Amino acid sequence: MKMQRIANALLSLPLCLSMASVVWGGANVSGKVTLSGLAPKPKPISMVAEPGCAKMYATPATTEDAIVGQGGGLKNVVVYISAGAPDEATAPSQPVVITQKGCRFTPHVVAMQVNQELHVVNQDSTSHNIHPLPTSNREWNKAQPPGTPAVSESFARPEIIPVKCNIHPWMRTYFAVLKTSHYSVTGDDGTFTLPNLPPGKYTLTAWHETFGTQTQEITITGNEATPIDFVFKAK
């Protein structure tokens, strides 16, 4: 009987390994988001109301609603799996951090999962306030004087939320609250990578605050690298 149990365990081992490879393995989906056409010029921001912040810039700070890099790469695009992947049951324990420095929110666009903790830090010598404007989540508005602890919050439902500072109207950011862990925010070159997507059919969504939303249907059949590109048109 003992030998039979050992034999059965050995026979089941390949099946267990195969199931593990399906769950944990997958394809790396990567690509680039570009802007076609003439990119709008960034507008200078007047910070005369906050001289302490203004002096932190050798040249005036500019708006971040359309940042285009070399080769047309579009920055601050949220790329994520919007259909096909199961909803994440548990949010990451590591909080997402956004910083107020130089009277700016950094980063300009931050992505997180539903119920993931968000920390907002004030590194300036002046007061700020954080005022998200959601449609599906609870709206809140919190003041944050200099030297105070981080503001800690989370969001229970997925949506992309514009955020402002009522004290400094030029301060804007976006919280992309997602029900999946498969997401990326493009950097200066417009590239993104979504690692370890198991085989299946998915809807891939790219969102930008100025140029809107695009989707593509993709099919993953193994662990191949799958290049996907998005092209937005300048308005």
**Model confidence over 151-183: pLDDT tens digits?**
999 999 999 999 999 999 999 999 999 999 999
Does the pLDDT of residue 16 top 70, yes or no? Answer: no
**Model confidence over 82-128: pLDDT tens digits?**
999 888 889 999 999 999 999 999 999 999 999 999 999 999 999 99
159 strand-pairing partners: 177
CA–CA gap between residue 201 and residue 81 (Å, rounded): 10
**Model confidence over 189-220: pLDDT tens digits?**
999 999 989 999 999 999 999 999 999 999 99
Question: Where do the domains of the chain lie, and which CATH numbers do they carry?
Answer: 25-233 (2.60.40.420)
**Model confidence over 34-64: pLDDT tens digits?**
999 998 899 999 999 999 999 999 999 999 9
- Higher-pLDDT residue of 216 and 23 is 216
State mean pLDDT over 137-161: 96
Question: What single-letter DSSP state applies at residue 132?
Answer: E
Check residue 74 and give left, alpha or beta (phi > 0: left; psi -120 to 50: alpha): beta
Question: What pLDDT, on the 0 to 100 scale, is given for residue 25?
Answer: 59
Does the pLDDT of residue 133 top 90, yes or no? Answer: yes
Confidence label for 226 from pLDDT (cuts 50, 70 and 90):
confident
**Residues near 9 by beta carbon (within 8 Å), at least 6 away in sequence:** none
Question: What pLDDT, on the 0 to 100 scale, is given for residue 18?
Answer: 27
Q: How many CA atoms lie within 13 A of 116 on its CB side?
A: 22
Whole-number average pLDDT of the chain: 88
Confidence label for 21 from pLDDT (cuts 50, 70 and 90):
very low
**Residues near 176 by beta carbon (within 8 Å), at least 6 away in sequence:** 78, 80, 109, 110, 111, 112, 160, 161, 183, 185, 207
